[in-house]
Amino acid sequence: MNTAEDLYNKYVIKNHLLCYPADWYIQKDTFHAVKDSIQPIVNFYEDSGTKERKDTPLDEIIQEPLKDVYTVPFFSQKFCNILLDEMKSLERHFGFKPNPEEDNLRQIPEITFQDNCPQIFQSLMQTIYTIGNPIFLNIWNRHVDSGGIQIANYNLKDKRQGAWHHDASADISMVVPLNTGDYQGGGTEFLKRGTVEPLPTGHALIFPSFTHMHRGLAVESGDRYLLVFWLKCNEE
Ligand SMILES: [Fe+2]
């Protein structure tokens, strides 16, 4: 049974649209490209690599700015605005906290969804299964079945720049900026690969967690909010 204190501390979701994954979450062209790519992706997967994969509409919209670093328009502007608004009320309720399991150099102020807001976590994971997995299958013939999701906040005061690191607890990392244009600086640098400038709001940066050491670049002003997915491929 919940104690009075638990009930007091429980976060109440402001916008319930965030609990029901729907088409409008996803950038329109990507939504249609996923739908039209599923059949050739599934055929290739089921042929166990014995036949060539046919070109897919997703091939047209997934970009590779650095070696094995991919970008794709993912969430719609409308979804990002609503999530950012919810995030401000999550911030008022919980505050951004560094993860105590990470060492000091790698700690970024963050709010994790799986612990603090399981309904939004479920809804975001659902989106990963329906939209993210076809994209990961299109890139690597891999798909994910679990993971963690958080919002990280880079700013001048708390944490301007990340230290070099691997996303140790993941197989596939996906990072989505929620408020590009509201801050200066930022971007992501990959060791020996190069730098990706801040992507437009809602666009996903996707890379393998094991091989790609990276760091967030310094924010010159403002708050840079990133939706970060650390995803696991357990069952193949
Ligand atoms: Fe990272």
Cα angle: 220, vertex 71, 45; to 5 degrees: 155
Distance 185 CA to ligand 1 centre (A): 17
Distance 51 CA to ligand 1 centre (A): 35
The first and second tokens of residue 12, run together, are 């109440």
How far CA 19 is from CA of 1, 33, 113, 171, 172, in Å, comes to 24, 24, 12, 26, 24
Distance 229 CA to ligand 1 centre (A): 10
Distance 219 CA to ligand 1 centre (A): 16
Q: What is the pLDDT of residues 63-78, one digit of tens each?
A: 999 999 999 999 999 9
pLDDT tops 90 at residue 105: no
Lowest-confidence region among 18-27, 104-113, 142-151: 104-113
Write 100-106 long-range contacts (CB < 8 A, 24+): 105/163, 106/162, 106/163, 106/165
Residue 98: pLDDT band (50, 70, 90) is low
Distance 208 CA to ligand 1 centre (A): 11
Residue 82: pLDDT band (50, 70, 90) is very high
Place of tokens 């605005």: 81
Residue 190 near residue 214 (C-beta atoms within 8 A): yes
pLDDT tops 70 at residue 4: no
pTM of the model: 0.90
Distance 172 CA to ligand 1 centre (A): 11
The pLDDT score that the predictor gives to residue 104 is: 56
